[in-house]
């Protein structure tokens, strides 16, 4: 049964320069007067080892050794540090501009809660901080 429309599916797939997935192939088959399900088209494509060029690779987060290292708590939640500029903390903010991520690093003086400095960059590197 899988081989019944396999040649038509293969023809549509090759004519699309390997860019069509099950939805577009189903639409093209409907235009030709053939009614099949997307699940059937997926089975045929899998049996013929056809994969669209535009199949999106899914992101899978993972832990790295640098994120799992313990950091010493030097402030011990004592944020009142007097009037001097003794302690400066940094924060990294993600900003989306024109479908691209940009990064804003802000340095904050804990004694007077003012911004001591900032820098914007397109890459999240140590130089940004």
Residue 122, Cβ neighbours under 10 Å: how many? Answer: 11
Could you report the per-residue pLDDT of 40-90, keeping only the tens digit for each? Answer: 999 999 998 888 888 766 667 666 665 556 777 777 766 666 666 677 778
What is the residue range of 43's domain? 6-47
38 in any annotated domain: yes
Closest CA to 54 of 12, 97, 92, 21: 21
125 within a domain of the structure (yes/no): yes
Number of domains in the chain: 2
Over 60: is that where the pLDDT of 104 sits? yes
Mark whether 84 and 129 lie in a shared domain.
yes
Q: Which tokens in the block code for residue 36?
A: 């099949």
pLDDT in tens, 8-47: 999 999 998 888 889 999 999 999 999 999 999 999 999 9
Indicate whether 75 belongs to any domain. Answer: no
Is 94 a domain residue? yes
Same domain for 84 and 128, yes or no, is yes
Q: Record the pTM.
A: 0.42
Is a pLDDT exceeding 50 seen at residue 1? Answer: no
Integer Cα distance of 118 and 89 in angstroms: 11
Name the region of 106 (left: φ>0; alpha: ψ -120 to 50; beta: rest): beta
Residue whose tokens read 């940009």: 102
């Amino acid at each position: 049964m899988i081989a019944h429309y396999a040649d038509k599916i293969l023809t549509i797939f090759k004519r699309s320069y390997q860019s069509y997935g099950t939805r577009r192939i189903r639409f093209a088959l409907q235009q030709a007067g053939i009614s099949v399900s997307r699940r059937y088209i997926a089975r045929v494509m899998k049996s013929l080892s056809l994969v669209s060029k535009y199949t999106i690779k899914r992101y899978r987060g993972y832990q790295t050794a640098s994120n799992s290292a313990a950091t010493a708590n030097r402030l011990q939640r004592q944020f009142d540090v007097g009037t001097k500029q003794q302690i400066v903390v940094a924060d990294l903010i993600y900003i989306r501009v024109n479908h691209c991520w940009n990064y804003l690093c802000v340095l904050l003086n804990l004694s007077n809660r003012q911004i001591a400095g900032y820098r914007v960059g397109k890459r999240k590197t140590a130089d940004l901080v």
